[in-house]
Copies of this chain bind each other. A is one copy, B any other.
Amino acid sequence: MSYGDAMTARARSEERRAEIVRAALEVIAERGYRGASLTSVAERVGLTQQGLLHHFPTKEALLVAVLQERDRWDAMPAGRLRLDLLASLVEYNAMRPAIIQTFSALLGESVTEDHPARAYFTERYVGVRAGMAEVLRAEYGDRLPSGLTPERAAPLLVAILDGLQYQWLLDPESVDMPSAFRDFLTLLGESTD
């Protein structure tokens, strides 16, 4: 067995799958998960619907791959994150509406019954809140200037991020998401200059 060629074969396959996941992200952003048909995803990468099912045996398997892709994406800054980096991240996200729209749509859908992404988001938010609490503790210690503990402030921080995204997606002209987020950081006691 020639390792090199075997790898390129596998690599080609992986790249195809990644291509499909990218297309799925787009279509989900446009139509949500329920509205995202396999056919429309397949066409975007030049496949038939059945050809797509060769790479992902079911629609749900494709969704799982999409969610894993996200995990891989923001696993990066999980190690060490600071509040001002978070503000920069919001600013960066404001230039990439597609990805935000994908996961805002998925989050909205996931609160419905039996949604395949529900468990994912539930568990994810537990982790995200814990991560945010950690960041806040690193910044302020066990009490924020307002007297709140990091654990109580963390859900607020997460809520602001999500809530601002919806307002911004609906009406980007009216909502300056990065500024608003910095306003919130000011409320928490952070001077952002």
Q: How many copies, total? A: 2
The answer to whether A30 touches B163, judged by C-beta atoms less than 8 angstroms apart, is no
The answer to whether B170 touches A111, judged by C-beta atoms less than 8 angstroms apart, is yes
Q: Interface extent on A, as a size class? A: 35 or more
Secondary structure type dominating chain A contacts: helix
Contact mask for chain A residues 124-161; partner B; CB cutoff 8 A; 1 contact, 0 none: 01100100000000000000001110001101101111
Give chain A's interface residues, CB within 8 Å of chain B: 29-32, 34-35, 101, 104-113, 118, 121-122, 125-126, 129, 146-148, 152-153, 155-156, 158-164, 166-167, 169-171, 174-175, 179-180, 183-184, 186-188
Q: List 5 A-B contacts (CB under 8 A).
A: A35-B112, A104-B108, A105-B112, A111-B166, A159-B163
